[in-house]
């Protein structure tokens, strides 16, 4: 069966700096894939390529078998790829409800219909009490949640979650893990970019892809990948690589 999202041999260079190098993997429908790697490994660049914000230097991204080459971010969003930003970008002057309603306009025709659907999404993501508050007044944890809510309102097939747990305390991380599991129950696949919140990786992922220096190091089930010597080396340095798990 065609995978939902296929990243095929994608490379990206910026003025001679190689950010991504021949990365390939596939995301099946409704599954959660974590992309992990140390800072600078290329996760955000990968997400930007998938979302259409930048074009790959070579290789392509296929969504339900169709190439996304040349399509910009608003096109890919409407096709069904939602995303969150690592450094959150809410619409500061709009209310929480309207923030989500903007995304809902992709599939709803009128503002009122969009707001109705947005309210449902807010209920789902436990943001309903804040519906009329301007987004600039939300705490960081709630803004991150709003990012996800907005992406959900696009009614996407897959959401790219870029460091959605960074900067949160353990209780907030748990809440976010619940949120990601909700996605699965909605049938939405997810690609989660995670640098260091490792316990989350174990809990949410169906499988894991590891990036380092723009290259894919290994992919597989969470437990195996975490023990893999290359992965340990990437995070902790070679002294620990031989130590085993």
Partner 1 sequence: MTRLEILVAAAAVAFVIAIPLFGSEYLVGFVFTTFLFVGMAYGWNLISGYTAYVSFGQVSFFGIGAYTVAILVTKLSFEWPLAVLVGAVAAAALAVPLGWAMLRLRGPYFALGMLGFVQVLQMVASAWTRLTNGGEGIYLPPAGSLRALYFGSAFLVAVGIAATSSIDRSAFGLRLRSIGEDEIAAEAMGVDTTRAKLLAFVIASAFPAVAGGLYAFRLSYVDPASAFPGSYEVQVILMAIFGGAGTVFGPLVGGVLLSTLGEALWARFAELHLFLFGLIIVVVLRYMPEGLIPRLRRLAASAAASGRKAAAR
Selected binder of partner 1 within 8, 22, 31, 111 (CB under 8 A): 111
Q: What string of H, E and C letters represents the secondary structure of 183-206? A: HHHCCCEEEEEECCCHHHHHHHCC
SS3 210: strand
Selected binder of partner 1 within 26, 54, 62, 94 (CB under 8 A): 94
Stretch that binds partner 1, among 22-30, 55-63, 93-101, 196-204 (CB under 8 A): 93-101
Closest contact distance (angstroms) between CB of 137 and partner 1 is 13
Q: How many residues bind to partner 1 according to rule CB under 8 A?
A: 28
Site for partner 1 in 49-68 (CB under 8 A): 51, 53
DSSP of 57-116, one letter per residue? SEEEEEETTEE-TT--HHHHHHHTEEE--SS----TTSBHHHHHHHHHTTT-SSHHHHHH
Closest contact distance (angstroms) between CB of 188 and partner 1 is 15
Q: Is 167 left (phi over 0), alpha (psi -120 to 50) or beta?
A: left
Q: Report the sign of the C-alpha dihedral through residues 95, 96, 102, 108, in that order.
A: negative
Residues 6+ apart with CB under 8 A from 222: 34, 201, 202, 205, 207, 208
Residue 163 near partner 1 by CB under 8 A: no
Residue 114 near partner 1 by CB under 8 A: yes
Residue 73 near partner 1 by CB under 8 A: yes
Whether 201 contacts 226, CB under 8 Å: yes
Selected binder of partner 1 within 67, 69, 72, 139 (CB under 8 A): 72
Identify which of residues 101 and 210 has a Cβ nearer to partner 1 in the complex. 101
Site for partner 1 in 141-160 (CB under 8 A): 150, 154
Site for partner 1 in 33-52 (CB under 8 A): 51
Q: Are strands 58-63 and 207-212 parallel, antiparallel or unpaired?
A: unpaired
Stretch that binds partner 1, among 87-95, 120-128, 192-200, 213-221 (CB under 8 A): 87-95
* Binding interface with partner 1 (CB under 8 A): 51, 53, 72-74, 77-78, 83, 85, 89-94, 98, 101-103, 105-106, 108-111, 114, 150, 154
């Amino acid at each position: 069966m065609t995978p939902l999202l296929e990243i095929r041999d994608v490379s990206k260079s910026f003025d001679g700096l190689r950010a991504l190098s021949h990365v390939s993997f596939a995301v099946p429908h409704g599954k959660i894939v974590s992309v992990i790697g140390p800072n600078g490994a290329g996760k955000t660049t990968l997400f930007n390529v998938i979302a259409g914000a930048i074009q790959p230097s070579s290789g392509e991204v296929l969504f339900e078998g169709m190439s996304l080459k040349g399509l910009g971010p608003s096109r890919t969003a409407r096709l069904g790829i939602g995303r969150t930003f690592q450094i959150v970008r809410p619409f500061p002057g709009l209310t929480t409800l309207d923030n989500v309603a903007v995304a809902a306009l992709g599939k709803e025709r009128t503002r009122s219909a969009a707001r109705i659907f947005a309210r449902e999404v807010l209920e789902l993501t436990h943001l309903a009490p804040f519906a009329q508050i301007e987004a600039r007044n939300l705490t960081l944890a709630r803004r991150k949640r709003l990012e996800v809510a907005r992406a959900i309102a696009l009614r996407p097939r897959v959401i790219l979650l870029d460091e959605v747990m960074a900067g949160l305390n353990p209780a907030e991380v748990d809440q976010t893990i619940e949120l990601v599991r909700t996605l699965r129950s909605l049938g939405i696949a997810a690609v989660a970019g995670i640098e260091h919140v490792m316990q989350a990786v174990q809990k949410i992922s169906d499988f894991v892809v590891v990036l380092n220096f723009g290259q894919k190091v290994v992919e597989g089930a969470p437990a195996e990948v975490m023990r893999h010597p290359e992965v340990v080396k990437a995070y902790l340095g070679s002294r620990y690589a031989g130590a085993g798990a």
